[in-house]
Amino acid sequence: MRHYSSDPATGAEQTQNRTAATNPEIANPPALLEVRNLSMSFGLGQSGLLAIDKVSFAVKPGEILGLVGESGSGKSITLRSVLGLTRRYGRVNGEILWKNRDLNKLNNRDLQKIRGREIAMIFQEPMSSLNPLLSVGLQITENLRAHTGLGRAERRKKAIKLLDLVGIPSAAARLGDYPHQFSGGMRQRVMIAIALASEPELLLADEPTTALDVTIQQQILDLILALSREMGMSVIMVTHDLGVAAQTCDRIAVMYGGRLVEVGPVRNILRNPQHPYSIGLLRSVPENVPPRSELYSLPGIPPGLGNRPSGCCFAPRCPVATARCAVEKPDLFQSGEKVSLACFNPQNLLSGTPQ
């Protein structure tokens, strides 16, 4: 189990702090991506199943935002909805503002000019995301052919450079290899190389360390963090691991039941979370636990799309839920410095009592 630190200016925050100190004018740059009241439901009409419910967040240039929560919280669907990949399965509402353009209003042809070029995505499982019938070199040059004006020789040269950039040894010799000839960690590196081919301004990373051993996980995280710093690239990192978020992210957005429940800087969320769900996630991380002692786990399971409560989705599992929680959904409100919270009964982790 990876340990994390909630000390100030850890991980990606260090670069941002140095930049702000050098040039105070860009300490608070405008948002690169702004999502407003994003909702997504599978199916059409009244019978649709609501997967994302009025999610709003923003990502600034060079910032790394972590979407944290259990499986089924809506994290991956949120990323796919940003790129318009869920349209064929249901209905997407809300605004997705990218450089003053609402991506939700663009047709597929216009979206294809942005996907892979300005906004790229690393999907969760590289073995199923990579085409097993095509060499990795061809899959990288596909992106370059679609989004750049490079000739065949230049595309091959850049593909070699990308494989070398992500740490694959003998890059030129491995262009003709197929995905099954790579290990899990190397396949994930190929996915990152494909995503970076057109030098995107925003990278959507959907649990990029899933199913990798701890050593490879650390290498992939270090690689994404280093590339973000070198290229000035913003990142939205989907993870259920608070250790990953602590090491890589500037801000954390905790998600549950298709809604954001707490958003704020990494140190604020990890030092003293206020939402009962955030507190439960933090307590579920085993740290300094005596051998053979019982580990803490959140009671119950996340609700399915077809049986979400009419009020707060976390109410059936919440230790401090009231009658109001069962019938009314809390909206995000400003709670303390730079922290937004959606809860009727905020808690204090240090005292364990309502605020």
pLDDT recorded at residue 83: 93
The pLDDT of residue 351: 52
Average pLDDT of 65-84? 93
Lowest average pLDDT, out of 19-28, 63-72, 199-208, 339-348, goes to 19-28
Is residue 267 over pLDDT 60? Answer: yes
265 in Cβ contact with 250 (< 8 Å)? yes
Question: Mean pLDDT of all residues in the chain?
Answer: 85
Mean pLDDT, rounded, for 302-315: 89
| pLDDT per position as a tens digit, 76-99 | 999 999 999 998 888 999 999 998
Structure tokens at 338: 């730079």
Which helix (DSSP H) or strand (DSSP E) does residue 230 occupy? helix 214-231
Alpha-carbon distance 311 to 307, whole Å? 12
CB 276 within 8 A of CB 314: yes
Contact 144, 155 (CB under 8 A): yes
Number of H helices, E strands in the chain: 13, 12
pLDDT class for 188, splitting at 50, 70, 90? Answer: confident
Q: What is the pTM of this model?
A: 0.85
Predicted local confidence at residue 291, as pLDDT: 83
What pLDDT score was predicted for residue 349?
Answer: 67
As a 3-state breakdown, the chain gives helix, strand, coil percent values, each rounded to 5, of 40, 20, 40
Distance CA 252, CA 64 (A): 9
Question: Sorting pLDDT into bands at 50, 70 and 90, what band is 129?
Answer: confident
Check if the beta carbon of residue 268 is closer than 8 Å to that of residue 341. no
Q: Where, residue-wise, is CATH 3.40.50.300 in the chain?
A: 1-117+202-302
Q: In the prediction, which pLDDT does 27 show? A: 55
Query: What pLDDT was estimated at residue 216?
Result: 78
Q: Does residue 340 or residue 30 have the better pLDDT?
A: 340
For residues 174-180, average pLDDT: 94
pLDDT at 60 over 90: yes
pLDDT at residue 337 tops 90: no
Confidence band for 46, pLDDT divided at 50, 70 and 90: low
The pLDDT of 279-306, averaged and rounded, is 84
Interval 238-267 mean pLDDT:
91
Higher pLDDT, 89 or 210: 89
- CATH H-level superfamily of 1-117+202-302: P-loop containing nucleotide triphosphate hydrolases (3.40.50.300)
Q: What is the pLDDT of residues 157-169, one digit of tens each?
A: 999 999 988 889 9
Tokens describing residue 10: 């850890």
Q: Is 202 helix (H, G, I), strand (E, B) or coil?
A: strand
Across the range 43-68, mean pLDDT stands at: 88
- Strands, E assignment, 60-167: 64-68, 90-98, 101-102, 119-122
pLDDT band (50, 70, 90) for residue 300: confident
